[in-house]
Amino acid sequence: MRKGFLTFAAVGLLAAGSMAACGDNDGSDQAGGAKKPKIGVILPDSKSSARWETADRKFLKEAFDAAGVDSDIQNAQNDKSVFQTLADQMITNGVTVLMIVNLDSGTGKAVLERAKSQGVATIDYDRLTLGGSALYYVSFDNEAVGKLQGEGLVKCLADKGVKNPAIAYLNGSPTDNNATLFKNGYDSVLKPKFDAKEYTKAADDDVPEWDNAQAATIFEQQLTKAGGKIDGVLSANDGLGNAAISVLKKNKLNGKVPVTGQDATAQGLQNILAGDQCMTVYKAVKKEADAAAALAIGLAKGEKKDTGQTVKDPEGGRDVPAVLLEPKAIYKENVKDVVDDGYVTKDELCAGAYAKLCADAGIS
Residue ranges in contact with ligand BGC by CB under 6 A: 48-49, 51, 126-127, 172, 176, 178, 210, 237, 262-263
CB of 127 to ligand BGC, least distance (A): 5
CB of 228 to ligand BGC, least distance (A): 28
Phi, psi of 166 (to 5 degrees): -95, 125
CB of 295 to ligand BGC, least distance (A): 18
Query: Shortest CA distance to 316 belongs to which of 54, 134, 96?
Result: 134
Query: Checking phi first, is residue 123 left (phi over 0); if not, alpha (psi -120 to 50) or beta?
Result: beta
Nearer to ligand BGC, 48 or 122 (CB): 48
Nearer to ligand BGC, 215 or 297 (CB): 215
Contact between 70 and 95 (Cβ < 8 Å): no
By CB atoms closer than 10 A (0-12, 13-18, 19+), residue 307 is buried
Contact between 354 and 332 (Cβ < 8 Å): no
CB of 337 to ligand BGC, least distance (A): 18
Contact between 21 and 29 (Cβ < 8 Å): yes
Nearer to ligand BGC, 55 or 154 (CB): 55
Is residue 39 helix, strand or coil?
A: strand
Contact between 87 and 111 (Cβ < 8 Å): yes
Q: Distance (Å, rounded) from C-alpha 202 to C-alpha 208?
A: 19
CB of 242 to ligand BGC, least distance (A): 12
Nearer to ligand BGC, 28 or 48 (CB): 48
Q: What are the percentages of helix, strand and coil residues in the chain, rounded to 5? A: 45, 15, 35
Q: Distance (Å, rounded) from C-alpha 221 to C-alpha 231?
A: 15
Contact between 245 and 254 (Cβ < 8 Å): yes
CB of 161 to ligand BGC, least distance (A): 30
Nearer to ligand BGC, 124 or 231 (CB): 124
CB of 163 to ligand BGC, least distance (A): 32
Q: Distance (Å, rounded) from C-alpha 290 to C-alpha 325?
A: 11
Q: Are strands 328-330 and 319-325 parallel, antiparallel or unpaired?
A: unpaired
CB of 339 to ligand BGC, least distance (A): 19
CB of 256 to ligand BGC, least distance (A): 25
Nearer to ligand BGC, 133 or 265 (CB): 265
Nearer to ligand BGC, 172 or 302 (CB): 172
Instruction: Return the DSSP state at 61.
Output: H
Phi, psi of 121 (to 5 degrees): -75, 150
Q: Distance (Å, rounded) from C-alpha 186 to C-alpha 202?
A: 15
Is residue 7 helix, strand or coil?
A: helix
Nearer to ligand BGC, 172 or 185 (CB): 172
Nearer to ligand BGC, 122 or 242 (CB): 242
